[in-house]
Amino acid sequence: MRLAFAGGGTGGHIAPGRRVLEALDERPTDLVWFTSGRAVEDRALTGLEESLGGAGWERVKGKIEPPEGGAPGLARIARRLLPEVWSSRKKLKEHESQFLLGLGGFSALAPVLAARSLGIPCGWLEVNTVSGRATRALAPLCQQVWHAWEETSRGTSADEVVGPPLAAELFLEGDPEEAKATREGLGFDPERPLLVILGGSQGALGLNRFIASHAQAIVDGGLSVLHQCGPGRTGEGAGALESYQAVEFIEDVPRLLAAAELALARSGASTVAELGAARLPAVFVPHPASPDRHQHRNAALLGAGARVVDERDLDESCAQLLIQLGGAAGAEERAQMRAVLNGKVPHDGAGRVAQALTKRLSS
């Protein structure tokens, strides 16, 4: 298969594409992936060859999205769009792409327009509960739109709700002894409950500041803390504390979530889906500036399986909440939250998209 993917800028736009590739069951897939070129993508794309069944792939870095993050303004789009459409056309023709899948973000804008101009069929994958500007502009140009959640479906013949594309390992039942071994392998006391802090692929300044100020109290309260700070941001963590570690990026998410008792996290779509699939109780802190409050709506998907805290309330009382909920005193509440999360997230999102792609390209 000769596929083109378009989307990037955050790990939340990269990870769903990787899960779809993994679900192709190593069918040889020659891939060209149009990304934003931001540094955060480098780590998220590491080892991609293993998902392609031995075929090659090429990354094309766009220039529409600003390298420092955030959505581009209209002036930047207007200035850069036409040259990128022409360069995307050239690459798609050279690659002989059979299908283009948009994954989100404005790095998909030029490739989708280029594919349409060449008559290459397009699909779109929407993983949020609220469609962003890029999705609203580009999904109507696609023959098929796959949705992680019912909330974004327009109900047309082109729309299909499949669930979020996730690693199959997230849905496996955890083994307590294996969880202890994982905590010990990470350098923690295997008997202490583990709190994992997830700020998304780029990290979250609000969470980092909170943990820098309150990690000592949380550790003294009986928890171990693994803090994912974001690329180049471990200096925003709590420094050298016993039972505390700051890392830029988490490599094996399913294994880590299976070893944790509780998460404190931003509520990006991929994070919410992963925590729900792993049935890990969470305290979500939605980004206060998320467009259309989509992070608040993402968090609401898990109902009573999660708590939601406003960023303005990241203070000593939140630290005490984490200590109580993550420790022995919170065992019963965590069990109730896990029961709520059981079955909340569909298991086969990646497989259904992969199956549809295979069927389309084999016909």
Mean pLDDT of 125-154: 88
221 and 305 together in one domain: yes
Determine how β-strand 99-104 pairs with β-strand 122-126: parallel
Using one digit for the tens of pLDDT, what is the confidence trace for 87-129? 999 999 999 999 999 998 889 999 999 999 999 999 999 988 8
Closest alpha carbon to 4 in 132, 20, 12, 37: 20
pTM listed for this prediction: 0.84
189 and 336 together in one domain: yes
The CATH number covering residue 221 comes to 3.40.50.2000
5-14, 184-193, 244-253: least confidently modelled range: 5-14
pLDDT at 51 over 70: no
CA distance 6 to 90: 15
160 and 191 together in one domain: no
Mean pLDDT of 166-178: 88
186 and 248 together in one domain: yes
pLDDT at 245 over 80: yes
CA distance 151 to 25: 29
Please give the full DSSP string across 20-31, using - where no structure is assigned: HHHHTTT---EE
Contact 356, 19 (CB under 8 A): no
CA distance 289 to 308: 15
Using one digit for the tens of pLDDT, what is the confidence trace for 270-329? 899 999 999 999 999 998 877 778 899 899 989 999 999 999 999 999 999 999 999 999
99 and 157 together in one domain: yes
154 and 186 together in one domain: no
140 and 175 together in one domain: no
Residue 226 has phi, psi (to 5 degrees) of -110, 120
69 and 162 together in one domain: yes
| Residues in a beta bridge with 144 | 123
119 and 243 together in one domain: no
245 and 105 together in one domain: no
**What is residue 26's predicted lDDT score, i.e. its pLDDT?**
65
Rounded to a whole number of angstroms, the CA Rg of the chain reads 20
Using one digit for the tens of pLDDT, what is the confidence trace for 301-313? 899 999 999 999 9
**What is residue 53's predicted lDDT score, i.e. its pLDDT?**
58
Mean pLDDT of 24-28: 73
91 and 28 together in one domain: yes
Residue 198 has phi, psi (to 5 degrees) of -120, 110
**What is residue 363's predicted lDDT score, i.e. its pLDDT?**
67
| 159-to-1, 4, 142, 182 alpha-carbon distances in Å | 23, 20, 10, 40
46-50, 95-99, 109-113, 217-221: least confidently modelled range: 46-50
CA distance 7 to 16: 10
Q: How many domains does the chain have?
A: 2
Tokens representing residue 176 in the block: 């307590």
The domain containing residue 42 runs over which residues?
Answer: 2-166+347-362
97 and 9 together in one domain: yes
Mean pLDDT of 142-151: 92
